[in-house]
Amino acid sequence: MASPNFATQATQFHHRSAGRSVSWLWFREFIRWEVAPYPGRVNTVARMTISATLVMIVVVTFRIPNPFLAAFFSILLARENLAATWRGGRVVVLAFVAASLYTVLGMMLFRGYPVTHFFWVIGSLYLVFFVIRTASNYAAAAAFAVPIAVALPIWDGSLPSEMQVENTLWLVLVIAVGVGVTVGTEALYRIFDHSDPLIASVGDLLLPVQQVAEAIASLHAPSKAVRDRILQYQMIGTGRLRTMLQRQGLDPTQRAERSALISLSDRLVGLAANLMCARTQPGENDVIRLRALSTRLGAIRAELRESGVISAFPRVLEGQPSSGFPMLQDMERSVGLLNEVFQPGEIGDHSQDASARHWWRALFRQDAFQNPENLRFAFAGCLSASVCYILYNALDWPGINTSVLTCIVTALSTIGTSLQAQFLRLAGFVAGGLILGISAQILILPGIDSIFGFAVFFATATAIAAWFATSSPRLSYFGVQIALAFYFVHLQGSEIQTDLTIARDKVIGVLLGILAMGFIFDRFGTKSDAEQLQKLLVQNIGLLAQLGVSPVARDRAIAVSQLNRFRSQINDNFASLTSQMDSVQFEFEFRRRRDEDVAEWERIQRAQPALRSIYLQEVSLLSHRGRSDIDSELTQHQNQALDHFLHEYSDELMHIAAWIAHEEDAPARITDDSIRRLRQIFESHSSPNSQAITDICQKMVSSLVVLRNECWLAF
């Protein structure tokens, strides 16, 4: 069905020898698809460029100190919707106020004593990196960390105390300007565009899947445009959508729904890529199933576009495995799960003021004060920044104080493994600091004599940085690093910077910070790839085991609290696992790895759909058990049987997790006894809701068997 060239191209990125030299072919394809346009990218880049340019004009015109901060935060602010932008801007300003007050108070207490001043600086750097690690809001963490780093050289100088306090408080104003201009730009844009960019992006993911099913059902090969779109989405993954989801500020229920929607859409893209590689012609039954699948995907896209949710009917019935198209059954199963994502349930805190009541909990991640990895991260980051701080003070070279800020901004990245981190840091430094920075000072700036000319140059460089910043998380930090280095060089004051000495010091400071993070932070702050993957997998299986038995808690307040906590942690772990696996793939292409490591990574990747399926089915079961009429439909005996089944199911998940963590010698042996007993008891007093519950439990068992088999092969 598919052309041999495409079949080879679609699979060559996942089945490579681990012992070969650097794969420049893979890297070329990686860059090609990461920088390729996708729906909505041009609009986002244009808004980022306009905001940053307007901010630059305002801060330069009114001669506000540290103008680079305003432009940089106009790049970082969320643009998923106006509410998210306004919420993020408000949090950024408040975080800047808190950090500035903390800095002023600390300096008032410790500035007069060199020893206590030094230890206060070290302690502050540790606090900064701890907040970076544990804060749930990316922009808020940056807004708390950056002013402390910027204020350190101010208070290390010999200026009068009044001037130092004034320069510290200027930081709040410059950030307020950046936030105000960005929010104003987004408000103007949203007058003309009310769409939800996340839902629109999911619809764009499903469109080529629908087109592939329709083309193969019509006995035609998909067009080149469709094949390219599938390959692009398969290559870049859904990391960008997950970042978008994280910044939307939704409640746990909505976040879980949209996270499941993204995961299933990503799964369908992968299955569509496999479908295109099929060598056989579809039979009559396959054609009928493919057309039903295409029709339902079209209806789902229409529903998402109109209302943002998916109705339960009509469902795509899951058929038997097809000999020519083994992935067809998985596609039908995934589309069937899409129907269940948005089904209402009554276990959940849907009150509008729920987030307001628990706003202080939302500031930090669930495991902020329990996970020892947070302390490890903070120690490694503090050590890296402290080395830079001590070095530029020992050399009496204040011009390279940008090294501390570089360490902090670098730690804000979520790109994961050390090789990828080092590559993006150095590449962004070269592009932003050397090519667009110092080279532009020599070749371009001498010919610019007006603010208009500089604005054109500034907007062009910002657009380049913004284009890369809107890539997937595997490359987006490259754009952020370009913007940071470029703004360091060209936005240090109200005049056009032509002094190469200042630019040289700033660029050397950025390079020093990058080297410190590469040689210190990456050695102490992160675990190995295999350890991270295994730990995240074990954590998620354990959380799924706990989520499975959460309906046993009959107290509504306890059930709501448990459900929201589990959903948040599971979604965070799924996102971390996806990011880590993308990063590991990047390293596999550029480092010699054992064949066993590559095989294990591929098997863990294949186990993810089973985990996602278990999660969605457990949430769907919670929805059914949360109905107000459930007690009238299910007898006490049926409720007890269901509780017993869920306890056994949870125990089997815990056995699998313990086995992966090498705490048990063999995984649990999964049998059909528990689901058979449950069906027998539920058939004695049948109802529509009870039938749905038994069907969900049967799917949970099937997914558990798949998970167990994949883990058995992997470990």
* 335-350 tens-digit pLDDT: 887 876 776 554 444 4
Q: Of the residues 524, 543, 564, which one is the last residue of a structural domain?
A: 524
CA trace torsion 695, 700, 701, 704 (10° rounding): 160
The stretch 358-379 carries a mean pLDDT of 75
602 and 693 share one domain: yes
Give CA–CA dist 6/228, Å, rounded: 9
Grade residue 667 by pLDDT with cuts at 50, 70 and 90: low
Three-class secondary structure of residue 62 per DSSP? coil
Residue 11 lies in a domain: no
Residue 359 lies in a domain: no
The stretch 236-241 carries a mean pLDDT of 84
Q: Of the residues 524, 555, 583, which one is the last residue of a structural domain?
A: 524
399 and 535 share one domain: no
**Domain extent at residue 684:** 529-714
Give CA–CA dist 228/212, Å, rounded: 12
Residue 538 lies in a domain: yes
Q: What is the CA radius of gyration of the chain?
A: 27
Give CA–CA dist 454/278, Å, rounded: 54
Most confident of 214-218, 367-371, 651-655, 669-673: 214-218
- pLDDT at residue number 84: 74
The stretch 52-58 carries a mean pLDDT of 94
- For 429-438, 526-535, 601-610, which range has the lowest pLDDT when averaged over its residues? 526-535
- pLDDT at residue number 482: 93
541 and 507 share one domain: no
Residue 313 lies in a domain: yes
587 and 493 share one domain: no
The stretch 458-480 carries a mean pLDDT of 91
* Mean pLDDT rounded to a whole number for the chain: 80
- Number of neighbouring beta carbons within 10 Å of residue 611: 23
- pLDDT at residue number 413: 58
Give CA–CA dist 532/604, Å, rounded: 12
235 and 258 share one domain: yes
Sign of CA dihedral 224, 226, 231, 236: positive
- pLDDT at residue number 628: 61
What pLDDT, in 10s, does the model give residues 306-321? Answer: 888 887 666 655 666 6
Q: In sequence order, what DSSP letters do the residues of 173-224 get, joined into one string?
A: HHHHHHHHHHHHHHHHHHTT----HHHHHHHHHHHHHHHHHHHHHTT-PPPH
Give CA–CA dist 163/107, Å, rounded: 13
- For 309-313, 618-622, 676-680, 697-701, which range has the lowest pLDDT when averaged over its residues? 309-313
Residue 76 lies in a domain: yes
179 and 118 share one domain: yes
- pLDDT at residue number 58: 93
Residue 300 lies in a domain: yes
Q: How far does CA 118 lie from the centroid of its chain?
A: 36
- For 86-95, 235-244, 278-287, 594-603, which range has the lowest pLDDT when averaged over its residues? 594-603
- For 34-48, 387-401, 407-421, which range has the lowest pLDDT when averaged over its residues? 407-421
- pLDDT at residue number 3: 45
711 vs 29: which has the higher pLDDT: 29
554 and 676 share one domain: yes
Residue 6 lies in a domain: no
Q: Output the pTM of the full model.
A: 0.80
Joined together, the tokens standing for residue 564 give 């929201």
The stretch 47-62 carries a mean pLDDT of 94
662 vs 488: which has the higher pLDDT: 488
Buried b (16+ CB within 10 A) or exposed e, 301-313: beebeeebebeee
User: Does position 2 have pLDDT exceeding 50, yes or no?
Assistant: no
Residue 357 lies in a domain: no
Question: ∠ CA(516), CA(103), CA(386), 5° rounding?
Answer: 20
- pLDDT at residue number 388: 95
414 and 269 share one domain: no
DSSP state letter for 519: I
156 and 184 share one domain: yes
497 and 534 share one domain: no
613 and 691 share one domain: yes
Number of domains in the chain: 3
- pLDDT at residue number 634: 77
- pLDDT at residue number 415: 46
Q: Of the residues 471, 490, 524, which one is the last residue of a structural domain?
A: 524
Three-class secondary structure of residue 364 per DSSP? strand
Non-local CB neighbours of 311 within 8 Å, separated by 6+ positions:
303, 339, 342
646 and 698 share one domain: yes
Grade residue 531 by pLDDT with cuts at 50, 70 and 90: low
User: Does position 255 have pLDDT exceeding 70, yes or no?
Assistant: yes
- For 89-103, 368-382, 528-542, 592-606, which range has the lowest pLDDT when averaged over its residues? 592-606
- pLDDT at residue number 671: 64
What pLDDT, in 10s, does the model give residues 164-215? Answer: 888 888 988 998 899 899 999 988 998 888 888 889 999 999 999 999 999 9
User: Does position 116 have pLDDT exceeding 70, yes or no?
Assistant: yes
The stretch 239-258 carries a mean pLDDT of 77
What pLDDT, in 10s, does the model give residues 131-172? Answer: 988 887 777 888 899 889 888 888 887 778 888 888 888 988
